[in-house]
Structure 1
Amino acid sequence: MMKKWWVLSGLILVSIVALAFYALPQFKVVNAWDGEQVVLPNKVWKLEFSEKVSLKSLDKDLIYITNDRGEKLDTTLELGEDQKTIYINPPENGYDLKSKVFTVHFKKGIQSALGRELKSPQAWKFVVKETLPVVGSQEKLASYFEEIIKEQQKSHGWFRTVKESLSATEDKATESSSADKAGGGDVSRTNVQVQGVDEADIVKTDGKSIFQAEHDRVRIIGAVPGGQMKLLSTIKYDETFSPNQLFLGDQQLLVIGQQYFNHYKPYEKQAKDTKIAPMSFSTKVLIYNVENPAKPKQIREVSLEGSFMSARKVDNLVYFITQHYPDYWLLKEERDIDIRPKFTDSIHNSEEKTIGYDEIHYFPQSREPNYTMIGALDLDQPKKEVAIATYLGSGNQIYMNKENLYLAVQNYGEMEFEDRGVMAPDTDVHKFAINGMKVTYHSSATVPGTVLNQFSMDEHNGFFRVVTTKGYAWDEKRPSSNHLYILDKNLKETGKIEGLAKGERIYSARFMGDRIYMVTFKETDPLFVFDASDPANPKVLGELKIPGFSNYLHPYDENHIIGFGQDTKIVAEKGSSQPRILTDGVKISLFDVSDMTNPKEKFTEIIGGRGTYSPLNYDHKALLFNKDKDIFAFPVSVYRNSEKNEFESIFEYQGAYIYSIDPATGFKLKSKVSHIEGDMPYYEDWESQIQRLLYIGDTLYAISPGGVSSYKMGSYQQIGKLEFGKSERE
């Protein structure tokens, strides 16, 4: 009897388990689509399943693609790190444009890791376009934004008006300063990522004058000789324009800033009356002739709607990029309102013009509610109209060399709006070919994870390299991990390394030819050294774990790299297995990477305690470095730790530190310079905050909102000072 009872109990238990098993949600592809998708020739399909997929399902007889003649294409299958995603890579030369339609096939034998099968075979269709399609009509543009509105409203009824973001600030890290002859001799230049590709900055010099963008004005300072500096001229603007970036051409000054518009009647009423969404603000470029710097003369004005994102200059050509969020919510009341982006150009009497529907391109499968506009100006042809390329969708990180521009855009795929910020996105990389003023779309790719900043991307020998963090470091259920991807000239994956430093995120990266350096952090700072000499087979050769982290990596020479970041302290928590990480003073490290398999932190320098920071922590342009002149200088605000409270910091110093660096002996503090005279105050003083350092010949200059000071290089003895308040009142 007992035996029968155990048998019966076992059968009941098996039945319960079986019922529970089959009661689980259906095993399916969660990002299936209806109708035909439009994609580009090198599209990599990312298919997300409801649960982990069995490795046996990576079978070309179960998952494959056919053309319009029913022929099976030579594609490859790859299982993602989460084991819930299958990637279908395109044929060697991309999809054949001669085929009118393609079909993705899923057969019934596909199984989950638990052994559950797809309920039924499926087939989804897509068409391939050679290049980015254009919007083409008001109806199509309105439909694009209406789909976004529906998606937002569907997310628990959530709907918000997207407002313009402030100007995106590009992050971190830098290349060696270039120098050339002008005026007083060797002249320092803005630290840039790519030699020969200048980046806009708040301070520039031509070797005779210093140009400074500050709040509501641009100052032109006569800098030579350093002991007799004087304010030559000030270009003042009203409250509707704020200059924040500068370029120098041949006797030309470019001022880039944000223009705000005051509407004479309520915004919504003006849009309704005119059927056109009026400009709220734009990115304006003003060009001045500064042959006589005491009397700058404006010769050109161009503006693109939206906030400033980035700018580059190659020889006489200037490229500037804006990001514009249109007020698409207006379509809910007036569907025929025109929400296309606008621009002005003084060669057309600054008449407001609208980008044509046939000039607005969009990225297939994208649902980003904004525009990217890339403007190009030729300084040698002042009468030539600005060239503008316009795209729906945008990103806030770009990499550019002389031939190509890469734009990194977050890709949330089919993710619900309420999951954004909780679930981590991937990154779409869009490549644009540069030919003079013409910026043309080339190709796209999607890489897992997100890009930290412009220094996470690089092109070398025709290969595009990018490092990303997949997931969030704080998410213990789905730990973050870090990856390196190498793509060919058509952005087809060539090589990769995945799954590094789980639970951490990237804090800085540096690409130096075949060598790649990457820093991640959560509790310690691992410095990874990659060998990418074989793009198909990159390798991690070395790893170094040290306290603290580097926000920024700077090359010293072939065998040494400088890390700039923060020191950290690990504090044990009572009753918790997880320690607390406290950020301490600014930390500078000199790494010896001569043996790539065994990187070493050769020397360190710690400045101050908690609260100590430098603009160099987040802005690579704040560094002045020249190996030959033996100068490594940066602005800094120093705090010391309080003995009473671990969270309290006491202000100690504001100014700039000047170091020399010797690979044999390390760092040596040569001098400190400050624009605060006498004793330090209790708090930082904004007007006295040194923002940039530069040199002209053998004179060093420190620039703050309140003035400029000059010093003899080497001894750093002060030789001159110019206070703007006094000069501008005279």
Structure 2
Amino acid sequence: MKNRWIAILIISVLAILPGISTFMMVPKAEAKAVNTVMSTQSWKASFSKALKGSNITEENVYVTTDKGRKVTATITLGEDNKTLIVSQLAPGSYKLHVRKQAFAPSELKTTSHVIAFTVVEKLEAVKSEEELQQYFKAILANGNSEAESESRTENNTSSEDKANSLSDSSNSSTTNNQVEGVEEGDIVVVKNDIIYAVKDQSITVVDASNPKNLKLATTVKLKESQYISKLALYDNVLIAIGDEYIEKTGTSMTTATFYDITNPKNPNFLREVAQEGFLQDIRITKDTLYLIGNMHPNYWMLKEGETLDLKPKTYDSSVSKDYKSLPLEKISILPNTMDGTYSLITAVDLKNGAKATATTKGYLGGSSGLYMSENALYLTTPIYNGKRGDMVGGMVMDRIWMPTQVDTQVFKWDIAGTALNFVGATEVKGSVLNQYSMDEYKGNFRIVTTEGNMWDEQNVSRNHLFILDENLKELGSVKDLAPGEKVYSARFMGEKAYVVTFKQVDPLFVIDVENPKKPTVLGQLKIPGYSNYLHPLDDTHLIGIGYDTEERYDAYSKRNFTVTTNMKMSLFDVSDFQNPKEQSMVKIGGKGSNSEVQYNPKALFRHTEYNYYGFPVVLYEAGQGDEIVYQGQGAQIYEITAEKGIVLKGNIISKNSGDQYEDWEQVVQRVVYIDDVLYTVARNEVKSYQLKDFKSLDTLPIK
């Protein structure tokens, strides 16, 4: 019986590990590399087997032209001892030769490698269908693309981080944008006493001209297959951004629908523009809308020998009613990538009622993060470095790709209206948290990352800040901040950077980035809890919104661990850069209390004249054991000044009347203002309040 179960176990293991044909198979060392690199970059080839530094000689490792002539190149061994880095090559076609003598002894079978690659001076368009097909076939042959491409679908001039909107209504709320002059859109926007709010496949238009008598001006209904995620305003044009499944083509599209709102009670459809795939985000700057998204073609069907159209589809109702494949001259392969995902960028000129033809470009190489200034677009994507050939239970797992570390690749485009000019790409150590960990200042790009895993005692996490020039060459860096912790928030304010890391306490680092070649940590503050979002109050004060924490002891592991309790908002005084301090702090609710502002800064309400800052909130309190008890939901408004600190002014909370949890339809999504009136916007109602004393004025139910 025992032997029978062992046999069954062996058969089961072999069944789930394709590629293992014998129990003690010895796999060959494998190579992984991209086929194209920019001349401003280094080209890399990674191996599943370690190389021996002393064996990296001109005899064992060298570069030739595609005709076989040896050329001079700089070849270095990476820190992991499995990556060869080739640089200082002119544009052209080359081959890297790695003889088996260059490898260190291991259980893997050693072979020599010859890897072809091309160095290009500028990004070229794909020249033929055959070239495009060969690219995807190479990915399939590489075998690592699936794990990498899944990561693309996760889970954002000087940047002074001032709130701004392209709406011309100076007496009403604007979107909490990261960069002045660059609009990001939101689920609620305001213009000329009208509130526009997203609700699934429709837009609720509320007439707030009389705050004591709110009226539903109209409801703009989109297609049932179209789910709206964001709204944006430009002059008298309302833009609804969302995802739509097109049954006719069997694909999902990112769609921008344009309406003329000269008469807000009767929005007039102008046009619809779409690109295949899913939305990453939008930006509007200098009269141009940019749709940025990802598209995953079904290239794995090439294994079945099928002939496929692997080009993304686009649509523009002002040109044609048909969905058209993107022309080859609009498709390029990003350097140093081997990823079957497209990054798609559609640019629409918004002048003259957004009537100009939309321009779409497709770049093979997916992305998951973005930052945009008025003059440049940066996309980021994680790079999962992994290994093959690990021993599991005495067997060599030849076909398992095991990610060991995440780095970040950065791509840059100069933008000028609908024109996109690819500048280049680079890599930085570690992963980037979100768009607020990135910034452009005086042409230089700054980025904060976390390398490693803070729970991995063998590879302790550490945090870095890199400053790159306009061509993405590294100028300076601060490395190894807060070992054992990770970045929870970051904010750049001109010549200073503020970084919050956390594991058990919250260090706030103040970093001088005035000299891009020598950024320097000036000071730090350690307090309990952490901030998920940092917002500038003025040049020397920061608002931090996050959670308080407490330390507990686990009797089983005999270790202390940290848990979150209530929400927390802090005012940091950084006027003395060497000695930052928490000037003021408030605790919000109890354990379980939460707000969308913790992960989406668009939910932050701001009114500069009153010095008001607020956000939607759902309040809980700690119950018995690990239980949490629902208390109510609504919004809280605080007056925040350098002189008085943080003072609660408006506690607009609907108290719990016996429910176990909050009603999702009734939860406040955004807080906005028009003149001296504050409005809370939920899916099923809009409420108005006097801004000076928060006295209730009216409630408009939304069906």
Same fold (TM over 0.5): yes
Q: What is the aligned partner in structure 1 of residue 417 from structure 2? A: 436
CA contact (8 A) 1:633 1:659 kept: yes
> Match for 2:364 among 372, 388, 392?
392
- TM-score by length of structure 2 reads 0.85
Distance 2:133 2:166 in 1: 51
CA contact (8 A) 2:543 2:570 kept: yes
> Match for 2:323 among 349, 352, 367?
352
1:38 maps to 2:36 = yes
Question: In the alignment, residue 298 of structure 2 is paired with which amino acid?
Answer: D
Could you list the per-position Cα deviations for residues 535-555 of structure 1 after superposition, in whole angstroms to 9, with x for gaps in the alignment? Answer: 111111112222111111111
Distance 2:300 2:46 in 1: 31
Q: What is the aligned partner in structure 2 of residue 295 from structure 1? A: 266
Distance 1:541 1:262 in 2: 57
Q: What is the aligned partner in structure 2 of residue 409 from structure 1? A: 381
> Match for 1:599 among 580, 586, 589?
580
CA shift for structure 1 position 147: 3.1
Distance 2:32 2:679 in 1: 60
Q: What is the aligned partner in structure 2 of residue 550 from structure 1? A: 531
Secondary structure of 2:219's aligned partner? strand
Distance 2:475 2:43 in 1: 17
Question: In the alignment, residue 138 of structure 1 is paired with which amino acid?
Answer: E
Q: What is the aligned partner in structure 2 of residue 336 from structure 1? A: 307
Could you list the per-position Cα deviations for residues 157-176 of structure 1 after superposition, in whole angstroms to 9, with x for gaps in the alignment? Answer: xx89989997x675xx9944
Q: What is the aligned partner in structure 2 of residue 130 from structure 1? A: 121
Secondary structure of 1:226's aligned partner? coil
> Match for 2:627 among 648, 652, 655?
648
1:147 maps to 2:125 = no
1:305 maps to 2:276 = yes
- TM-score by length of structure 1 reads 0.82
> Match for 1:484 among 443, 457, 465?
465
1:120-519 matched pairs, under 5 angstroms: 126-152=117-143, 170=156, 175-178=161-164, 186-262=171-247, 278-381=249-352, 382-412=354-384, 422-519=403-500
Question: In the alignment, residue 172 of structure 2 is paired with which amino acid?
Answer: V
Distance 1:460 1:390 in 2: 27
Q: What is the aligned partner in structure 1 of residue 570 from structure 2? A: 589
Gap change, CA 1:59 and 1:137, over 3 Å in 2:
closer
CA shift for structure 1 position 63: 8.8
Secondary structure of 2:300's aligned partner? helix
CA contact (8 A) 1:692 1:703 kept: yes
Gap change, CA 1:410 and 1:399, over 3 Å in 2:
same
CA shift for structure 1 position 326: 1.4
Could you list the per-position Cα deviations for residues 29-53 of structure 1 after superposition, in whole angstroms to 9, with x for gaps in the alignment? Answer: 988569x943101213457686698
- Mean alpha-carbon deviation: is it higher for 475-484 or for 449-458? 475-484
Question: In the alignment, residue 234 of structure 1 is paired with which amino acid?
Answer: T
Question: In the alignment, residue 363 of structure 2 is paired with which amino acid?
Answer: Y
Q: What is the aligned partner in structure 2 of residue 639 from structure 1? A: 620
- Mean alpha-carbon deviation: is it higher for 425-434 or for 677-686? 677-686
Q: What is the aligned partner in structure 1 of residue 651 from structure 2? A: 672
Distance 1:242 1:437 in 2: 26
Gap change, CA 1:215 and 1:255, over 3 Å in 2:
same
Secondary structure of 1:239's aligned partner? coil
Gap change, CA 1:64 and 1:664, over 3 Å in 2:
farther
Question: In the alignment, residue 463 of structure 2 is paired with which amino acid?
Answer: N
Secondary structure of 1:254's aligned partner? strand
Secondary structure of 1:196's aligned partner? coil
CA shift for structure 1 position 492: 0.8
Could you list the per-position Cα deviations for residues 461-499 of structure 1 after superposition, in whole angstroms to 9, with x for gaps in the alignment? Answer: 111111111122222222221111111111111111222
Distance 1:681 1:107 in 2: 70
1:617-636 matched pairs, under 5 angstroms: 617-636=598-617
Q: What is the aligned partner in structure 2 of residue 521 from structure 1? A: 502
CA shift for structure 1 position 439: 1.6
How many pairs were matched up? 658
Secondary structure of 2:602's aligned partner? helix
Distance 2:29 2:448 in 1: 27
Distance 1:160 1:33 in 2: 14
Distance 1:59 1:593 in 2: 52
Q: What is the aligned partner in structure 1 of residue 560 from structure 2? A: 579
RMSD: 3.5
Secondary structure of 1:536's aligned partner? coil
Unaligned runs of 5+ in 2: 1-27, 389-397
Distance 1:504 1:237 in 2: 45
CA contact (8 A) 1:163 1:325 kept: no
CA contact (8 A) 1:174 1:553 kept: no
CA shift for structure 1 position 378: 1.2
CA shift for structure 1 position 714: 2.1
Distance 1:504 1:290 in 2: 49
CA contact (8 A) 2:286 2:374 kept: no
1:692 maps to 2:670 = yes
Secondary structure of 2:381's aligned partner? strand
CA shift for structure 1 position 365: 3.8
Q: What is the aligned partner in structure 2 of residue 720 from structure 1? A: 698
CA shift for structure 1 position 528: 1.4
Q: What is the aligned partner in structure 1 of residue 24 from structure 2? A: none
Q: What is the aligned partner in structure 1 of residue 520 from structure 2? A: 539
Could you list the per-position Cα deviations for residues 676-695 of structure 1 after superposition, in whole angstroms to 9, with x for gaps in the alignment? Answer: 47846332011111111111
Larger Rg: 1
Question: Among the aligned pairs, what percent are the same residue?
Answer: 35
Gap change, CA 1:449 and 1:179, over 3 Å in 2:
closer
CA shift for structure 1 position 418: 7.3
CA contact (8 A) 1:177 1:626 kept: no
Distance 2:582 2:59 in 1: 52
Distance 2:242 2:71 in 1: 55
CA contact (8 A) 2:631 2:656 kept: no
Unaligned runs of 5+ in 1: 1-28, 264-277, 726-730
Gap change, CA 1:161 and 1:32, over 3 Å in 2:
closer
Distance 1:506 1:530 in 2: 14
CA shift for structure 1 position 257: 1.2
Gap change, CA 1:723 and 1:120, over 3 Å in 2:
closer
- Mean alpha-carbon deviation: is it higher for 408-417 or for 333-342? 408-417
Is the strand fraction higher in 1 or 2? 2
Distance 1:454 1:552 in 2: 11
CA shift for structure 1 position 79: 6.6
CA contact (8 A) 1:174 1:554 kept: no
Gap change, CA 1:122 and 1:338, over 3 Å in 2:
closer
Question: In the alignment, residue 660 of structure 1 is paired with which amino acid?
Answer: E
Question: In the alignment, residue 173 of structure 2 is paired with which amino acid?
Answer: S
CA contact (8 A) 2:51 2:102 kept: no
Secondary structure of 1:330's aligned partner? helix
Q: What is the aligned partner in structure 1 of residue 391 from structure 2? A: none
Gap change, CA 1:303 and 1:181, over 3 Å in 2:
closer
Gap change, CA 1:302 and 1:121, over 3 Å in 2:
closer
Gap change, CA 1:243 and 1:220, over 3 Å in 2:
same
Secondary structure of 1:464's aligned partner? strand
Secondary structure of 2:554's aligned partner? coil
Question: In the alignment, residue 121 of structure 2 is paired with which amino acid?
Answer: E
> Match for 2:636 among 652, 657, 661?
657
Question: In the alignment, residue 658 of structure 1 is paired with which amino acid?
Answer: I
Distance 2:686 2:701 in 1: 7
CA contact (8 A) 2:386 2:402 kept: no
CA shift for structure 1 position 302: 1.1
Gap change, CA 1:104 and 1:535, over 3 Å in 2:
farther
